[in-house]
Amino acid sequence: MSAHKSGAGMPTALDVSGLRGDARGLGALVLRQLRRDPVLLAALAAILAVVSAAVLAPLLAPHDPTRVDPRIRLAPPGTVGYVLGTDQLGRDVLSRILWGGRISLIVGIVPVVLSAVGGTAVGLIAGYSGGIVDQIITRVLDVLFAFPAILLALAIVSALGPSIYNAMMAITVVAIPSFARLVRSSVLLVRERLFVEAARSLGANPQRIIVQHILPNTVSPVIVYGTLETGKTIIFAAALSFLGLGVQPPTAEWGAMLSEGRTVLATAWAVATVPGIMIFLVSLSFNILGDGLRDALDPHRAP
């Protein structure tokens, strides 16, 4: 996830001065963008379809995703009762895709939410406080940005041990600096504006100014960046599972399925190809959605 590195790829704060802060106004902007952009609408539909399939996996999956049946191992797609075939242990690929979607989405979305909350808090404190507090936080963030994201996550997981929870923790820690820097940039833009100065002159305490006046103006860029980050996080989590540091067997997860299927790719292409396609499509859909949200919430974009 290159956005976690210092410099190139780092998101900049959106100028939120022209945005309406109320949810109805933001919702109207998003709906207008959906109507004018069929690709964005298709991406949103794809995400909703994958989420729905993952939620309904217990009802939709034709077989137990962990049931082993050596008699039907490496059955090709189209086999009666096994639409996408079976893997090298005779487990139904379709059932594992459906159940694996649950894990992949959780590992992709939860760390983004946690890092967005933590990064927003850090960014608000750094941007509003200024002075020595801002300098200390900024230097700590710079140190974290000095490490490539994948190496930092690998180090954290290796120290804590391979598991889905440790993988989520590692991804969260790696992503916090990006959100913190983004929010800090937004706060620096907003804190000197007239409505903030007016609140200070009326005697509002810093906590009230941050919560009521500054925080609402950081929500839009965080939502946009969080959506883009979700697609990258799904790939990142799949990479950890592919390396054996994320979800552990026999739990179904797209990255782990990709790793298991590469050994039989020549004889059973669907075992590795299908989860790879799912990772690609979901990640691409989140990136398209993030780009659409950025265009919809950009105050300088022509209506």
The stretches in the chain having pLDDT less than 50 are: 1-22, 302-303
Can you name the CATH fold of 36-296?
MetI-like fold (1.10.3720)
Tokens representing 124 are 């608000």
Over residues 112-171, the pLDDT tens digits come to 999 999 999 999 999 888 889 989 999 999 998 988 888 899 999 989 989 899 999 999
Length of the chain equals 303
| Residue closest to 9 by CA, chosen among 21, 1, 17 | 1
Tokens representing 92 are 């139904």
Tokens representing 245 are 């540091």
pLDDT at 140: 92
pLDDT at 24: 57
User: Cα 165 vs. chain centroid, distance in angstroms?
Assistant: 16
Q: Please, where are the H alpha helices in 56-92?
A: 57-60
pLDDT at 34: 72
Q: What is the largest CA-CA distance in the chain?
A: 77
CA distances from 130 to 184, 188, 303 (A): 10, 9, 36
Tokens representing 154 are 């690998």
- pTM (2 d.p.): 0.83
Over residues 291-302, the pLDDT tens digits come to 888 877 765 554
pLDDT at 14: 44
